Structure 1
Amino acid sequence: MRIAFLAAAALLAGCSQSVTDYRQQTPVLQLDQFFAGSGRAYGVLHDWRGRQTLRFTADLCGEWQQGRGDLYEVFYFSDGRVEQRHWQLQQDSQGKVSGTAGDVIGEAAGQLAGNALYWQYVLRIPYDGSTLDVTVKDWLYLIDPQNLINRTTMHKFGIKVAELTLSIQQTDAGADCTDLKRKVAEVAATQGQIL
């Protein structure tokens, strides 16, 4: 029995992916290029059973200067909720990525390689009239210069509790973010959140 368990563990370990597996993949993902200007996202959230629980769309807009960026997001959920996030991001010349946001506990950290980004962070989400902190493991894959697929798993106590699939399209790399910044501020004010 012990040998079977060790063999299964070794097999699973051999199947896990590393972001460096994608270093030769193109087009190369650079956050300051893909998340510049306006974008639109479409997503589906599944619970731990794989059952669809929520759908959403999101408007995005990013501004970058010398490897530092602000990414503004407004989410429209199928249950009527509207939420916002303001990421403050940093990307260095070696592809290391870090970020903070109002509903992120501490700092998100990750690594770019080829067409992919893997990063991880703790997200505080609304849950049953209160909040719940979950560990987010985020994989982003650039399909072409304007389209990206995001696959996310959320974990609590090391157990997967939800999975998210998200398609993001860059709509105008030169767009001004003023209107979306205003919308983010309005949504944050109604939620009593600090930007």
Structure 2
Amino acid sequence: MRYLLGLLLCIGMAGCSVSIEGDIYKQQTPEFSLEQFFTGEVKAWGIVQNRSGEVLQRFTVDISGTKDGNVLVLDERFTYSLGEGPASRIWRITPQTNGTYTGQASDILDVATGTPYGNAFNFTYSMDLPVDDTTYTVAFDDWFWALDNDTLMNRSYIKKFGLVMAEVTIFMQRQ
């Protein structure tokens, strides 16, 4: 009986996790270029939902992308119509010789790792996320998909102990 309960618990917990295989997007078009899409002005609209699907935040982001040598600098300015969050974030994203990317921002722990997959791009990183009076160290599994050359969808899975605790959905459009 104990074994059966343990097995059911493991199956149930696995259902709370998300695992996307990037290789299935390698042949899909349009091909997504991080530098090409984000160099210039981008407008974004998004929401954050908790595990039960309740919308906790609604926001817009004005993103200004510039190049500093081979480094892509993204200056993000957030406006919230529901909830609270950071007012700004500046990413510094650097291409690596193996085709991947590394990224850094002041509220990101260590270094973010980015991998392109045809029309998709995956960014993974950890951050300390303030919620009410507590701060949680969480992992972001951040996926971008090009819908066309000027429109992008972003889906982020915020995980704690490997379980999805919240999801972020953002649509972005080049201006």
Quote the sequence identity (%): 32
The structure where helix makes up a greater share of residues is 1
1:101 to 98, 105, 114: 105
Quick one: which amino acid aligns to residue 111 of structure 1? T
Q: Deviation digits for residues 147-168 of structure 1, max 9, x if unmatched? A: 0000011011222110010001
Separation in 1, partners of 2:97, 2:23: 16
Say if 2:96 and 2:102, in contact at 8 Å, map to a contact too.
Answer: no
Evaluate the alpha carbon distance shift between residue 29 and residue 67 of structure 1 in structure 2; reply closer, same or farther with a 3 A threshold. Answer: farther
Separation in 2, partners of 1:41, 1:80: 17
Q: CA deviation at 1:131?
A: 2.6
Evaluate the alpha carbon distance shift between residue 67 and residue 22 of structure 1 in structure 2; reply closer, same or farther with a 3 A threshold. Answer: farther
Say if 1:67 and 1:92, in contact at 8 Å, map to a contact too.
Answer: no
Q: What residue number does 2:74 align with? A: 71
Quick one: which amino acid aligns to residue 98 of structure 1? T
2:24 to 18, 21, 26: 21
Say if 2:58 and 2:83, in contact at 8 Å, map to a contact too.
Answer: no
Ranges in structure 2 where 5+ consecutive residues have no aligned partner: none
**TM-score (structure 1 length as normaliser):** 0.76
Quick one: which amino acid aligns to residue 35 of structure 2? D
Say if 1:41 and 1:57, in contact at 8 Å, map to a contact too.
Answer: yes
Quick one: which amino acid aligns to residue 145 of structure 1? N
Q: What residue number does 1:31 align with? A: 34
Q: What residue number does 1:45 align with? A: 48
Evaluate the alpha carbon distance shift between residue 127 and residue 108 of structure 1 in structure 2; reply closer, same or farther with a 3 A threshold. Answer: same
Q: CA deviation at 1:16?
A: 4.3
- Alignment RMSD: 2.4
Separation in 2, partners of 1:100, 1:119: 11
Other structure's SS at 1:70 match? strand
Say if 2:50 and 2:166, in contact at 8 Å, map to a contact too.
Answer: yes
Instruction: Tell which deviates more after alignment, 43-52 or 87-96.
Output: 87-96
2:91 to 87, 92, 95: 87
2:58 to 55, 59, 66: 55
**TM-score (structure 2 length as normaliser):** 0.84
Q: CA deviation at 1:17?
A: 2.9
Quick one: which amino acid aligns to residue 20 of structure 2? Q
Say if 1:153 and 1:163, in contact at 8 Å, map to a contact too.
Answer: yes
Separation in 2, partners of 1:103, 1:154: 15
Q: CA deviation at 1:124?
A: 2.1
Q: What residue number does 1:123 align with? A: 127
Q: What residue number does 1:135 align with? A: 139
2:150 aligned with 1:146: yes
Tell me the number of residue pairs that the alignment of Structure 1 and Structure 2 aligns: 165
Say if 1:104 and 1:123, in contact at 8 Å, map to a contact too.
Answer: yes
Q: Deviation digits for residues 93-139 of structure 1, max 9, x if unmatched? A: 64301100011000000210101011210122222134322110001
